[in-house]
Amino acid sequence: MRILCALPFLLAGVLWADQAADRRAIEDVIERLNSAAERPALFVSGADVPTELHRLARVRCGLLESKPWSETFSPGFTRPAVQFIGPDVAVADTEYRAYSSLVSVHTPVVVILRRERGEWKIATVRVPAECPGAPRIVPANR
């Protein structure tokens, strides 16, 4: 009888481990978005990749140059907050951040991911607001 009482807790541990591995895989996909050369391979088959890449280009809003800034960290996507919609679908809320000595630019980005053949791939990308409304420019000392 005690085994039956403990069974839900044992199964919860197994399910939690799978979700933790999925979160790490999704975080890796978002991290790979920082490399322009890897971006086309991150999308699901059948995705309109040129349109999705155009949406990602909107994140920069013409404020950031492709070459590294002086006295700054390289711009990039932050670690996402991941919410699972189903076993094979997830939403990742992230930000594209760029820092300089004077300002910090934060652009929110929503990434919808789908598991395809065991790998997490990007189904679509959304930048919630049009430029120039999307970026938030805040003083760097905050």
Q: How far apart are CA 139 and CA 104, in angstroms?
A: 6
Question: pLDDT value at position 135?
Answer: 46
Taking every pair of Cα atoms in the chain, the longest distance, rounded to a whole number of angstroms, is 66
**The three-state (H, E, C) secondary structure of the chain, written as one string:** CHHHHHHHHHHHHHHHHHHHHHHHHHHHHHHHCCCCCCHHHHECCCCCHHHHHHHHHHHHCCCCCCCCCCCCCCCEECCCEEEEEECCEEEEEEEEEEECCCEEEEEEEEEEEEEECCEEEEEEEECCCCCCCCCEEEECCC
How does pLDDT run across 73-100, given as a tens digit for each residue? 677 888 999 999 999 999 999 988 877 6
Residue 117 φ/ψ region, left for φ over 0, alpha for ψ in the -120 to 50 degree band, beta for the rest: left
State the Cα torsion 123-128-131-132 to the nearest 10°: -150
Question: pLDDT value at position 126?
Answer: 86
* Higher per-residue pLDDT: 68 or 30: 30
pTM over 0.85: no
Question: pLDDT value at position 64?
Answer: 46
Domain hosting residue 40, numbered range? 2-139
What total number of domains does the chain contain? Answer: 1
CATH of the domain at 50: 3.10.450.100
pLDDT surpassing 70 at residue 35: yes
